[in-house]
Chain A
Amino acid sequence: GAVVSQHPSWVICKSGTSVKIECRSLDFQATTMFWYRQFPKQSLMLMATSNEGSKATYEQGVEKDKFLINHASLTLSTLTVTSAHPEDSSFYICSAREGGASYNEQFFGPGTRLTVL
């Protein structure tokens, strides 16, 4: 099946620094990528949807200037958490979908655990 990787798998950073998380589709071209956030014992919450070569669409309540998303190629999307604070600590998950007009399956990465001290 299709494989999506994330890097790093976990990261610890100091408050005020920025952290970049990569999401790669390894064996298919991902027209669309999604970024989710998961709090402990909570469901995955969609943060934003990005299409290759265009600006990401953010869900209501998600700060676009804080969570910068870039989808510059068909196999790579990045999420940068700028000026991170402890409340940004969470599990971030990406998914990727091949192109097509109808709903296609999303393939998920294993997630990145971010801890902000």
Chain B
Amino acid sequence: GNSVTQMEGPVTLSEEAFLTINCTYTATGYPSLFWYVQYPGEGLQLLLKATKADDKGSNKGFEATYRKETTSFHLEKGSVQVSDSAVYFCALAQGGSEKLVFGKGTKLTVNP
């Protein structure tokens, strides 16, 4: 079946550090890929998405590229801020399906 594996947390960085959160997936066909972010006390919010191979999703300085050859969708940001502290979830939806399959989430803490 479909699955998503993302790096174990927690991740602790200093402000302005470079961030990478790894995400790999297993799926048949060509899924859509997503990153969601959950700030403390709030619901998950869509951060970015990519719907086909080599697409790059980007938002708020975060980027992730859909790599079919490595079945990966790693999240990156060049310079993190304290306000980026949150839990980040990688997810996929099998082509055309509305059902999301999530990774376990990675908690990021950014210190000033």
Contacts and interface: CB of A to CB of B under 8 A. Distances in A.
A93 B44 contact: yes
A91 B20 CA distance: 27
A32 B98 contact: yes
A4 B43 CA distance: 8
Contacts of B93: 103
Interface stretch (B53-61, B67-75, B101-109): B101-109
Interface residues of B, number: 22
Contacts of A4: 43
Interface in B1-41: 4, 32, 36, 38, 41
B89 interface: yes
A97 interface: yes
Contacts of B43: 4, 93, 95, 107-111
B98 A44 contact: no
Contacts of A65: none
Question: A97, A105, A110 — which one has the most chain B CB atoms within 10 A of its CB?
Answer: A110
Contacts of B98: 32, 49, 97, 103-104, 106
Interface residues of A, number: 23
A42 interface: yes
B27 to A, nearest CB: 15
Interface of B: 4, 32, 36, 38, 41-46, 89, 93, 96-105
Interface of A: 1, 4, 32, 41-46, 49, 93, 95, 97, 102-111
23 contacts: A1-B45, A4-B43, A43-B4, A43-B89, A43-B101, A43-B102, A44-B100, A45-B102, A46-B99, A46-B100, A49-B98, A49-B99, A95-B43, A103-B93, A103-B96, A103-B97, A104-B98, A105-B46, A106-B46, A106-B100, A108-B38, A108-B44, A108-B45
